[in-house]
Structure 1
Amino acid sequence: MVSDGTGWTAEHSVNAALGQFEHCLVDRGCAVNTHLFSGIEDLEQLMEIVKQAAKEGAMLVYTLADPSMAESAKKACELWGIPFTDILGPITEAIASHLGVSPSGLPRGAPGRNVPLSEEYFRRIEAIEFTIKQDDGALPQNLKKADIVLVGVSRTGKTPLSIYLAQKGYKVANVPIVMGVDLPKSLFEVDPEKVFGLTINPLVLQTIRKARAKSLGFSEATRSNYSEMDHVREELECARSIFAQNPVWPVTEVTGKAIEETAAVILRLYHDRKNRCSMPRISKRY
């Protein structure tokens, strides 16, 4: 993967595409190695990468904003017989045609682009700072300031999911359900439509907890309370009871789901409720 910027677009596009081949990747039937070359703005560097791809029998995927660089990559790949895909070019051309405006041809961080940091950027930074402070039930008095509140037992992925959502600009708080410990009163005082429950298959949860307990060096007694099946089932039943008492909270099953998949489910529900409509609105200005 080659990019003249951070490489985020190329990397995520390739990872999304590779997800379509998990049937052969999981059992290593067709293992794939990827490498990202970011910040490539020099033609000589680009040609060295193309040569390396030719030697290793690799495929080249690139996001190059400069049309001349993109064209050079294409010609070099054709010359060396390398399979290639231009991710950025076709969609940029399509948008240019639709808008009737020529693209700048400059990567996002180029010196010629004096684009000020947007309000959205600062909103994301603020969301991340808020979310980190609210992790694992901390500062329950601030729950009312959160956009999204996640509730679930330990190891249902509340923290990584919170951070992922925060990077998208949502202030997220997460509250753990622990048997014998009362949930904070403030949880029941916030708008219930922004609270989301998380649940998981007990066998999967037990496996995750056993690995976690071992890595943290828990004693046998602590490990027993944390990861034994009876305790796991009891905690999940406790959570299920709390969710049943609060039927407005949607409950998302996270078993076998990637963080991104769970986030997509929660955000769809969040925006459907916020907009009171089943279809997304085309309203955001770029």
Structure 2
Amino acid sequence: MKWQGRRGSANIEDRRRMSAGGAIGGGGLGLVVVALLVWALGGDPIAVLQQGMGAQQIGGTGGGEVTEADERAAQFVSVTLVDTEAIWSQIFEQELGRAYQPVTLVLFKGGTQSGCGGASSMTGPFYCPLDKKVYLDTDFFATLSQRLGAKGDFAAAYVVAHEIGHAVQDQLGILEKTTQIRKQSSEADSNAISVRVELQADCFSGVWARYAAEQLGTLEQGDIQEAVNAAAQIGDDTLQRNAGQRPMPDSFTHGSSEQRQQWLATGYQQGTIRACDTFSASAP
């Protein structure tokens, strides 16, 4: 992905040198790893954070020194974010005849507070619909590459695009409707709805990639394959197997590797919001 030396977004809120001030923590390394795997690319942040509230609270400073790798990640995120702003503004105008509202992305290290509660490395990147912001710990990209096996710049861009996909859902009224339905559903039905929400965000990230390739010319050879590989690595079935568990579809909240790859490809191939209607599909 061509990003070095390009203009970044003005909608970055950098908290990496701020106090964590009561972010969620505790639970031991095993809990952190499992939670990070399960919620690696989003999901229902409120449910995640509510579960984490039972863990020990930590305060004080965040994740320590901001390294050169952190700075590189921040620059990369800023450039990727500005691309999402340009692309979704165009799509909203062309397909919907309305304006897209750019989203603030909060960079932190170690822990911070969001409108949805405490955020830390155990939550992974997420979009909070209560304050309309995306939260991302810059250490996550190392985890994505080294622990999850999703290597490459465009795999990281897919993370950002997926979370912005949730912001798009919020602006379309989808998140509010699905959240209300999930509150009234059984656990299995709630999980099934969550899967469709997540797959739609994957599809929206594919739409973004299509425009980035055609309108911005920022994709390089192999970029799409990096995103497809990332989608495979963070499928619920793959994550459960890697955690030594037998895949249990009723517990899926993001979708299988095959489903995530399929909807990412659908968005990229068709390049429209209407192509991403995961809720009307007989099987997502």
Q: Shorter chain as normaliser: what TM range? A: under 0.3
TM-score, structure 1 length as denominator? 0.24
Larger RCO (CA under 8 A, 6+ residues apart): 2
TM-score, structure 2 length as denominator? 0.24
